Amino acid sequence: MELAGKTENIKSARELGLVACTRCTKVWPAGTETCGRCGKHLESRDTTSLQRVWAYWIVGFLCYIPANMYPMLQTRTLLTVQEDTIVGGAIELFHYGSPGVALIILIASVAIPVAKFLAIAFLAISVLRVSSISMHQRQLLYEVVEYIGRWSMIDIFVVAIMSSLVQLNTLAAITPGRASLFFALSVIFTMLSAQAFDSRMIWDVQSGNPDAPDTSDSNATSDRTAT
Amino acid sequence: MSDTPPPLQVERQRKSRLSRVSIVWIIPVLAIVIALAVAWQTYSERGPVIEIRFENGAGIAERETELRYRDVAVGVVEEVRFSEDLASVVAAVRVDKDVAAFIDVSASFWIVRPEVTARGITGLDTVLSGVYIEGTWDSKPGTPQTSFDGLTDAPLFRPGGNGLEIVMRTTPDGTMTDDSPITFRGIEVGRVGKASISPEGNYAVAEALIYEQHTGLISSRTRFWETSGFTFSVGPQGAEIDFSSIATLVSGGLTFDTFVSGGEPVDNGTVFEVYATEEEARNSLFQAADVETLEARVVFDENVSGLAVDAPVEINGLKIGEVQSVLGVIDEEEFGDSRVRLSVVLAIQPARLGLQDDVTPETAREFLADRVAGGLRARLTNASILTGGLKIDLVQVDDAEPQTLETPEDALPIIPTTESDIVDAAATVEGVVNRINNLPIEELLGSAIDFLDSAQALVGNEDLQETPGEVRAILSEIRTIVASEDVQNIPVALNASVTRLESLLAEIEETELASRLVNAVDAAADAAEGVTTSVEGIPALVEQIEAVAAKAEALPVEDLANQLTELAAAAEGILDTEAARQLPADLSAALNEINATLTELREGGAVTNLNATLGSARRAADAVATSTEDLPALVERLGNVLNQASVTIAGYNKGDTLSREAQSALRDISQAADALTSLARMLERNPSALIRGR
């Protein structure tokens, strides 16, 4: 991005009267209903994007609460039944002298999901007003959030693998706790939330009024910025 | 991009406020609704919290220790804390809503811990899983209660009734093992719980439970007794150790039996006594007034001391009741005089009479009336000679006057009496003394004195006094005889005689043997002599042989004798033949013939033939010479044979070699005889052979 830092000159496709297909990226004149190449319905701005972002975000957040309250993993051995929540397990691991593993769990299961919630919320709010953080940084943040979201499922994979492998009847058995379901739902909904975010809105804020973009612009960079 | 499309005026779509709301909002709304619903459900299903007070925590852990009912978890401990005065531990248990209604006054709680007893191990699972609180309550919902006092041990009785709940009480001063099984035929059919001592301290009381399926075994007639420990006895069958089971050996236990029929089912709370032994329990059945007793009255004419209250009433030796009261009565109206009579009230146990159907005082009375009509009477008799105690015996009197069991309307039935059978120990002793007194001792003494006098007179008789002297003389004579040397020497003389006899016999034997040997030697010498006397001595030889044979004949072996005789006879026969005897004559005749032949030849004139004949004759003569020369050898041989025979005969006594040697000798003799026979025959057939030499 050679234009980073020089946002003043950027013209959005919308300002140039263009609309890009989000599937095959072909650019069409604004007002075109469907993409002539792939047939997708064209829309210059997804007007319900923010609503969906917030809806999914809320569900994801709701799911994240029980995911941390209920036990993630139930370890049943001959003598004892141990149920650990995510944070509790990590703390226990830390006490048992495995700070590395505890750190990984904390990062993967707590830090990243929480950061994701914050990031998505920040993006969703920041598109509505002028932000001190540059649009490029926000775009980067969005891409990182979308990329990293799927890795949160690693917790669920671990639980799934463990509980399918360790099934020794009465000797020892590991079963997924209730939290694993909520955690999976939480991850899924945050991913949906991130996907629902129309990142083109990041660039609309610079014009001050995304709902009423002005028509005066240059044609030079319209293709580039049409996202 | 030179032909840039003209900037378009993008129109804002005008949409209603509602249509601008995304459908996606349904999802969070749904999620919230579901969450709220779940929360509400959880909350509404949450049962109440009850507080159970325990003496100690005993391993109760918050959020882990369960409350179980019939071993199913119905709650969990939410909080463990101390009571305000630290006197107890309070466990707050969140119970399930559906059982909360049942947890009322009837509920009781205790902590289940692992327990090892003689009967086995219980609560083993709690070793691993930790303790749990067991609760029990009846199946009727009541007013829920939230505060309870926990028990220290599992209660024996569980509300809801899982068996027959009875109470065990020891006999006064008896013992009982509490917290032990109740067995029946070796099967555990119930348990005795913790016992407590009565306030007066004279007996112990314990709750006991008979399990539901065995409640039919218990009736009002059932008796319980201890089976704790073991019995050890040494008897004719050897030592015997007896105990009902290891469990009762270690921890004790009770067992029971229903000895008589007719008991009624018992209700919860019935009190049973625990007896020390089965025998006591059995006896108790007839002592205890569990059936109303039949009271009867007996009036004895005599008034004898010794009958006391509680004295036994027996029939055929079997105790059927007791004396209830003893009174002296004076009733002129009833008895006709003013003597003091003994009025005894008996308490008879109908159960002990062995009545079949209805065991009631009424049937007992009927039974007694029947028996009294048949001759049953009451009498006083000794219970113990030593103590002088009396008892009342109901006996069958065969020739009794017919009487009936009087049953006045408002009084007790009266059992008629018969003569008492009291053996008064004092009276008996007196009787003995009397009898001794009455003995004719003085007469006896008089007789004895007379007898002694007569004896004295007899002994004083002179003749009798002399008798010993005579006897002594005879004895001394006998002793002198016995002691005389002659008599004493008898054995020696006998011995000498025997020795001499023996030596004599030996001598005789030796002499005989010697003579026989001499004879044999003589005979052999004679034989040899006879043989050496040339051919003419053959008859002599024969005679010798005969002699030998005769001698042999004299020997006890008849076989040998016979054989020798036969042999001798044969030899004699052979030698006695004409031919043999005429042998010399034949020889002369032959010579004569030769002479004649020679004369013929001389007259016939064949000189060569003559010469030849002469040569032949010479050879014949040579042959005869050799023949005759052989004869002495033959005779010698015969002599050897005879010698051998003699030796054989002489050594006859030497055992079974005799037969062998005799036989070989005989064989030799017979061979010799054969040789002689063949020689004789040849000579007989061909006498010229003797001349011609062949």
- At B73-109, the pLDDT tens digits run 899 899 899 988 888 899 999 988 888 888 888 888 8
Distances (CA, A) of B527 to A137, B531, B601: 175, 6, 46
pLDDT at B318: 80
Kind of pairing between the strands at A27-29 and A18-20? antiparallel
**Residue B222 scores a pLDDT above 70:** yes
Q: What per-residue confidence (pLDDT) applies to A227?
A: 40
- Closest to B254 measured CA to CA, from B300, B312, B204, B305: B204
Asked whether residue A224 is domain-assigned, the answer is: no
Q: Which of B152-161, B221-230, B449-458 shows the lowest mean pLDDT across its residues?
A: B152-161
Which of B10, B63, B129 to probe the A interface (max A CBs under 10 A)? B10
Question: Are A32 and A95 in a shared domain?
Answer: no
Single-letter residue type at B61: A
* Residue numbers of B between 24 and 63 with CB closer than 8 Å to A: 24-25, 27-28, 31-32, 35
pLDDT of residue A223: 39
Structural tokens at position B239: 């030592």
**B404, amino acid identity:** T
Question: What is the pLDDT averaged over residues B428-434?
Answer: 79
Question: Is residue A170 located within the same domain as residue A186?
Answer: yes
Beta strands in B160-201 (DSSP E): 163-170, 180-184, 187-197
Indicate if A36 and A60 belong to the same structural domain: no
Q: Is A78 on the interface with B (CB under 8 A)?
A: yes
Q: Can you spell out the DSSP letters for B101-136?
A: TT-STT-EEEEE--EEETTEEE-THHHHH--EEEEE
pLDDT surpassing 70 at residue B466: yes
Give the pLDDT confidence score for residue B683 in this predicted structure.
Answer: 67
- Across B296-319, average pLDDT: 80
Backbone angles phi, psi at A7, to 5 degrees: -70, -15
Adjacent-strand bridge partners of A172: A77
Strand partners, A84: A73
CB contact under 8 A, B12 and A212: yes
Q: Does position A8 have pLDDT exceeding 50, yes or no?
A: yes
Residues near B654 by Cβ (< 8 Å), separated by ≥ 6?
Answer: none
Q: Does B4 touch chain A (CB under 8 A)?
A: yes
Determine contact, residues B386/B423, Cβ cutoff 8 Å.
no
What mean pLDDT comes out for the span B115-137?
A: 78
Which comes out higher in pLDDT, residue B296 or A47? Answer: B296
- Cβ neighbourhood burial of A2 (10 Å; 0-12, 13-18, 19+): exposed
Q: Identify from A14, A46, A48 which residue to disrupt to test chain B contact, counting B C-beta atoms within 10 A and taking the largest count.
A: A48
B194 or B683, which is more confident? B194
Residues A38 and A55 in one domain: no
Closest CA–CA distance from residue B50 to any residue of chain A (Å): 25
Mean pLDDT confidence for A76-84: 79
Q: Is A59 in contact with B27 (Cβ distance < 8 A)? A: yes
pLDDT > 70: what percent of chain A? 84
Say whether residue B14 is in contact with chain A using an 8 A CB cutoff.
no
Mean pLDDT of chain A: 78
Residue to test with chain B: of A51, A53, A82, A225, most B Cβ within 10 A: A51
Chain B closest-CA separation from residue A56 CA (Å):
7
CA B229/CA B246 separation, integer angstroms: 9
Contact B8 A17 (CB under 8 A): yes
Do the chains contact at B8 and A62, CB–CB below 8 Å?
A: no
Quick one: average pLDDT of A88-94?
A: 86
Q: What average pLDDT does the segment B545-551 reach?
A: 64
Quick one: pLDDT at residue B37?
A: 92
B292 vs B456, higher pLDDT: B456
pLDDT of residue B269: 81
A58 part of a folded domain: yes
Average pLDDT over residues B568-586: 60
**Between residues 88 and 147 of chain B, which touch chain A (CB distance below 8 Å)?**
128-129
B623 has a pLDDT exceeding 80: no
**CB contact (8 A) between residue B10 and residue A44:** yes
Lowest mean pLDDT among B136-145, B448-457, B621-630: B621-630
Mean pLDDT within A118-137: 81
Q: What pLDDT sits at residue B520? A: 63
* Residues A55 and A3 reside in one and the same domain: no
* % of chain B at pLDDT higher than 90: 1
Over range B233-239, report the average pLDDT. Answer: 68
Query: Looking at the domain assignment, is residue A216 inside a domain?
Result: no
Is the pLDDT at B641 greater than 70? The verdict is no
Average pLDDT over residues B451-463: 82
The pLDDT value recorded for residue B643 is: 73
CB pairs under 8 A between A and B: 65
**B603-616 pLDDT, tens digit each:** 555 455 545 655 66
- Where does residue B262 fall: left (phi above 0), alpha (psi -120 to 50 degrees), or beta otherwise? left
> Does ipTM exceed 0.90?
no
How many structural domains comprise chain A? 2
Compute the average pLDDT of residues A103-129: 86
Q: What is the pLDDT of residue B555?
A: 54
**Do residues A193 and A94 share a domain?**
yes
- Top-ranked range on mean pLDDT: pick from A29-33, A119-123, A199-203, B219-223: A119-123
Chain A residues with CB under 8 Å of B39 CB are none
Res. B200: pLDDT tops 80: no
Q: Is residue A100 part of a domain?
A: yes
Q: Are residues A107 and A71 in the same domain?
A: yes
Q: Do B128 and A79 touch (CB under 8 A)?
A: yes
- Structural domain including A161 reads 48-207
Please tell me whether residues A113 and A133 are part of one structural domain: yes
- The alpha carbon of residue B39 is apart from the nearest alpha carbon of chain A, in Å, by 12
Q: Of the candidates A31, A51, A56, which has its C-beta nearest B8's C-beta?
A: A31
Residue-averaged pLDDT of chain B: 74
Same domain, A110 and A139: yes
Please say if the pLDDT value at position B592 is more than 60.
Answer: yes
pLDDT tens, B363-378? 888 888 888 888 888 8
Query: Per-residue pLDDT averaged across B375-397, rounded?
Result: 79
My answer on whether A72 and A102 are in the same domain is: yes
Q: Is B31 in contact with A217 (Cβ distance < 8 A)?
A: no
Q: What's the rounded mean pLDDT across residues B580-585?
A: 58
Whether residue B24 and residue A48 make contact (CB cut-off 8 A), yes or no, is yes
Q: How far apart are CA B155 and CA B146, in angstroms?
A: 20
Binned at pLDDT 50, 70 and 90, residue A210 comes out as: very low
Q: Under an 8 A CB cutoff, do A62 and B28 touch?
A: yes
Three-state SS string over B264-324 comes to CECCCCCEEEEECCHHHHHHHHHHCCCCCCEEEEEEECCCCCCCCCCCEEEECCEEEEEEE
Identify the burial level of B604 via C-beta atoms within 10 angstroms of its C-beta, where 0-12 means exposed, 13-18 middle and 19 or more buried. exposed
CB contact under 8 A, B20 and A18: no
Is B468 an 8 Å CB contact of chain A?
no
Question: Does residue A55 sit at the B interface (CB-CB below 8 Å)?
Answer: yes
Is residue B17 scored above 70 in pLDDT? no
Examine the pLDDT at B254 and tell me if it is beyond 70.
yes
Q: Is residue A213 part of a domain?
A: no
- Flag if A29 and B5 touch (Cβ within 8 Å): yes
Report the gap between the CA of B120 and the closest CA in chain A (Å).
22
pLDDT at site B302: 75
Residue of A nearest to B127 (CA): A79
Nearest to B4 among A47, A78, A219 (CB): A219
User: Is residue A225 assigned to a domain?
Assistant: no
Q: What percent of chain B has pLDDT over 70?
A: 66
Whether residues A58 and A22 fall in one domain: no
Q: B652-664: buried (b, 16+ CB within 10 Å) or exposed (e) per residue?
A: beeeeebeebbee
Q: Terminal CA-to-CA distance of chain A, rounded, Å? A: 13
CATH code for the domain in which residue A102 is found = 1.20.140
Give the residue, B352 or A84, on which the prediction is more confident. Answer: A84
B662 pLDDT tier (thresholds 50, 70, 90): low
| Same-domain pairing of A85 and A192 | yes
B22/A55 Cβ within 8 A: yes
Structure confidence at residue B40 (pLDDT): 92
More confident residue, B305 or A61: A61
More confident residue, B259 or B17: B259
